[in-house]
Amino acid sequence: MNLHSLHPAKGSVKDNKRLGRGQGSTDGGTSGRGHKGAKSRSGYSRKRGFEGGQMPMQRRLPKFGFTNFNRVEYKAINLETLQRLADKGITTITPDVLFEHGLIHKNSQVKILAKGEIKSALDVQAHAFSKSAEQAILAANGKVVKLASE
């Protein structure tokens, strides 16, 4: 094999359609766009959700539900995750520590949940705790500090 003998596989390369180059080409005149109408014009683009003039789906269906803009979103952290951090030698767990370990985003509010078990005595600071998580931390001789929600 030499450079001069390289060529694409047979049938893999097609020539471009030469539109609007006379009637003999089968794509002269209308350039393959049919006759008249919006789709034959330059600059045509159908709106998203357009259904040919029929009432579109998003207007046929009623609105429902409601979004509470006062909702507080918490990032859930389980006891098993806290135990993993304790195994690394961390005894005070704050949102900053969780951020440094990539478990939450910078401004996340943290809620501690009770999945898994905790064996180490930890000083845990978070914005919210489930009752069972709080009991488990206290049962392991740890401390629970609730931070003010932002």
DSSP string, 69-101: TTPPPEEEEEHHHHHHHHHTT--EE-HHHHHHT
Question: Can you give the CATH number for the domain in which 125 is found?
Answer: 3.100.10.10
User: Would 107 be classed as within a structural domain?
Assistant: yes
In a domain, 4, yes or no: no
Q: What does each of the 150 residues of the chain score in pLDDT, given as a tens digit?
A: 899 999 999 999 999 999 999 999 889 999 999 999 989 999 999 999 999 899 999 999 988 899 999 999 999 999 999 999 999 999 899 999 999 999 999 999 999 999 999 998 999 999 999 999 999 999 999 999 999 876
Range of the domain at 142: 74-146
Pick from 41, 42, 59: which is nearest to 50 by CA? Answer: 59
The count of structural domains within the chain is 1
Contacts 24+ apart (CB under 8 A), 140-149: 142/118, 147/95, 149/72, 149/109
Q: Looking at the domain assignment, is residue 8 inside a domain?
A: no
pTM across the whole model: 0.58
Looking up tokens 């000083």 gives 123
Direct distance between the N- and C-terminal alpha carbons of the chain, in angstroms, rounded to an integer: 69
In a domain, 87, yes or no: yes
Q: Would residue 17 count as lying in a domain? A: no
Is residue 16 in some structural domain? no
